[in-house]
A and B are shown apart, each in its own frame.
Chain A
Amino acid sequence: MVSDVPVEAEDLTKRFGDVIAVEGINFSVKKGSVVGLLGGNGAGKTTTMSLLMGLVIPSAGEARIFGEDASKRSASALARINFSSPYVEMPGRLTVEENLQVYARLFGVVHAQERIAKLARDLDLESFLHRMTRTLSAGQKSRSALAKSLINEPELLLLDEPTASLDPDTADWIRTYLQDYQKNTGAAILLASHNMPEVERLCDEVLMMRGGMIVDHGAPSELITRHGRQNLEEVFLDIARKQSEVASK
């Protein structure tokens, strides 16, 4: 059933053989909110995102995107979302504009040329729009990937470490752009990161993940107060260490 709620996860579980990547997580992302998935390497952030995008089939539970079962890969739901990650690339032998033309068609964007021109202006791509993607610098690649992820003006944007390996200036520029995009379009954003200051700055709510589970959640300020810490990084370390102590006992 189609709904306005961008993301709903119910007892979502994914096992790869004996390895539990995601275990029984429950959460939702409401329209217009920015939710952070925070956790270290192997916490289950990328798997959770893949489950939401229908790239991975859950072992148990259900992920719904705009009310539709993500594992069914409904075209109408997928046309409303998009994704960016520094670990997944666009064809390097195509120019930035060619890649955007291709993705505009894959997402069914009707006035592709106008949309590309707007994104090129907004994201300052014009100077390298006709260059092959593989020849771009890391910052230019990130901006191009962001343009691809916004090509269909998604109502749900999934971002996996969007500023990984970027210099502080470019990273800050991207964070500001994302904040503006969210404000202007009312889109929901689900952001996976292990960059705590980034999550603290952008997110209304944070889901702390560890070992495939959500171990705590709340607004960044709430979590900081509840744990009596100075910032989110300290909260995360606190949770991580408590878990380790429990595990060792």
Chain B
Amino acid sequence: MLIQYVILIIIVLIVLQTARKYKERKISLREFLFWIIFWLVVGAVVLLPQITSLLAEKLGIGRGADLVVYSSLIFVFYMIFRLFVRQEKIERDISKIIENLAKKE
């Protein structure tokens, strides 16, 4: 199906970008591996949608597509949560730095 090719091309582009970011040392090896494995899994699901149906059946979910939607949503929300926590930490760190600078002046 055409959609499979379109998504695969997009995935390849994203993987290339991830590799470039790793080469430029903008992300760590751990992050790099995490995203590569993630996109490989996505690629596998796109190429062989049957796997999701198999898994969905085992889990008691009607269709494979539903399983994909559910797991993606959980993943996305979890990532947002992680970013949120991280952002908070950065904000606190900035305030700490600003406080210390204020004392030194």
Q: Are A and B physically bound partners?
A: no
Interfacial residues, chain A to chain B (CB-CB below 8 A): none
